[in-house]
Amino acid sequence: MGSRLAPLTNNKPKALVEFNGRPMLQELIVRLKKQGFDELLINIHHFGDKVLEFLEENNNFGIDISVSDERELLLDTGGAIVKAAGFFKGNEPVLVHNVDIYSDFDFSGLIKIHKESKALVTLAVRNRVTSRKLLFDERLRLTGWRNIKTGEYKWVDKQSAGYKERAYSGIYVASPDYPEQIKMSGSFPIVAQWLRLAKTNLIKGVEHNEGHWFDLGSVEKIAEAERFIAGLEG
């Protein structure tokens, strides 16, 4: 819904809020194209018709773009994957990327690590301040989750010691059979499913503490990222 970006999202979806002079959806599509991606799926909900119009006006930016329509029911980060299960069919892993994230991340490198490790899911993580952290062992295998504000912990198996706390970066890679292993339907968040799946599958983290990363989820954070980019260009 982009509520943190109000009033900018009072008449448009978050994906079409401008960042660095163009809609953040366009910014992401251009970065993905530069790294060799030529087939995308975009899920739509809030003002979804405006996303469809935007894509049509730009001829899908010259690549194959499909749409997962959630205008009747917003499915959250887990339900969205189940609805888009058909997009995962094939032999290649799929990159999942929040539209309100901007970084210089090497997506092809993340996919390479994912393939080599034979993980079900490979999560981009960063050592930064946030109220919720994913917990990993010394080999960066997912072992739990922590809510720092409430003190709540959730574990893959049993409580462990010596874990690393890392913040999820809104970017991950998943293998083609990933949606089939999610045993829920409707609208639900994905983190609890990662913890369940990690009991029998490898779900690992990949750190990217070098380079830049920005959450574009608020007006203030967009301004911060734009100041950073202006400094680079200056």
Locate 171 and state its tokens: 């970017």
Give residue 234's pLDDT band: very low, low, confident or very high (50, 70, 90). Answer: low
Between CA 15 and CA 46 the distance in angstroms is: 10
pLDDT digits (tens, 9 = 90+) for 64-99: 999 999 999 999 999 999 999 999 999 999 999 999
Longest dimension (CA), the chain: 53
Locate 5 and state its tokens: 């970006």
pLDDT digits (tens, 9 = 90+) for 129-185: 999 999 999 999 999 999 999 999 999 998 878 899 999 999 999 999 999 999 999
Exposure string (b/e) for 196-215, b if CB count within 10 Å is 16 or more?
Answer: bbbeebbbbbbebeeeebbb
Between CA 55 and CA 48 the distance in angstroms is: 11
CA angle 119, 210, 41 (to 5 degrees): 50
Between CA 98 and CA 229 the distance in angstroms is: 20
pLDDT digits (tens, 9 = 90+) for 22-68: 999 999 999 999 999 999 999 999 999 999 999 999 999 999 999 99
Between CA 142 and CA 199 the distance in angstroms is: 9
Give the Cβ contact number of residue 43 at 10 Å: 21
* Cβ–Cβ < 8 Å for 37, 63: yes
Half-sphere exposure of 5 (CA within 13 A, CB side): 23
Q: What is the pTM of this model?
A: 0.95
